């Protein structure tokens, strides 16, 4: 069993021990994930990039960041379980698609969206 599967089993056990499955419709799980992502974003609100980069050096801020990331991961595992998605496989497939959309020779060092990378150059 992979670490992802082990973690999924742990969160399902936690959920089931509290009889929370009844509240975990796919919609509710997706909403909850979005709310947790907003809490992660809130950690950066009104901060400069330097302040955000310094989170790794502040144990309290790093712990808060870790907790929000964990909340997001746990909801994502519940969503994937509810929908029957193999997250590891889905991630591998997405990486393969991104490899095609963002070839190294066209995307290296660029923040351009893939549609701009594949557009023919226009001249004036």
Q: Where are the domains of the chain?
A: 3-85, 86-119
- In this model, does residue 29 exceed pLDDT 80? yes
The predicted pLDDT at position 118 comes to 78
Do 29 and 79 meet the contact criterion of CB atoms below 8 Å apart?
yes
Q: For residue 38, what pLDDT band results from cuts at 50, 70 and 90? A: very high
Share of the chain above pLDDT 90, in %: 89
Closest CA to 68 of 32, 94, 113: 32
Q: Is 24 exposed, middle or buried (0-12, 13-18, 19+ CB in 10 A)?
A: middle
The predicted pLDDT at position 31 comes to 98
CATH 1.10.287.1080 matches 3-85? yes
Residue whose token pair is 């393969």: 96
The pTM assigned to this predicted structure is 0.87
Q: For residue 122, what pLDDT band results from cuts at 50, 70 and 90? A: very low
The predicted pLDDT at position 117 comes to 85
Do 95 and 102 meet the contact criterion of CB atoms below 8 Å apart?
no
Q: Which two tokens stand for residue 123?
A: 């001249």
Query: What are 75-111's pLDDT values in tens digits?
Result: 999 999 999 999 999 999 999 999 999 999 989 999 9
22: helix, coil or strand? helix
């Amino acid at each position: 069993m992979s670490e992802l599967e082990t973690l999924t089993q742990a969160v399902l056990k936690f959920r089931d021990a509290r009889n929370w499955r009844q509240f975990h419709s796919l919609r509710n799980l997706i909403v909850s994930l979005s709310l947790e992502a907003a809490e992660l974003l809130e950690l950066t609100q009104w901060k400069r990039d330097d302040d955000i980069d310094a989170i790794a050096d502040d144990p309290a801020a790093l712990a808060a960041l870790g907790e929000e990331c964990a909340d997001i991961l746990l909801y994502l595992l519940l969503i994937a379980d509810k929908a029957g998605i193999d997250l590891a496989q889905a991630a591998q497939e997405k990486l393969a698609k991104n490899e095609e959309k963002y070839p190294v020779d066209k995307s290296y060092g660029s923040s351009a969206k893939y549609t701009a990378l594949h557009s023919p150059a226009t001249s004036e």
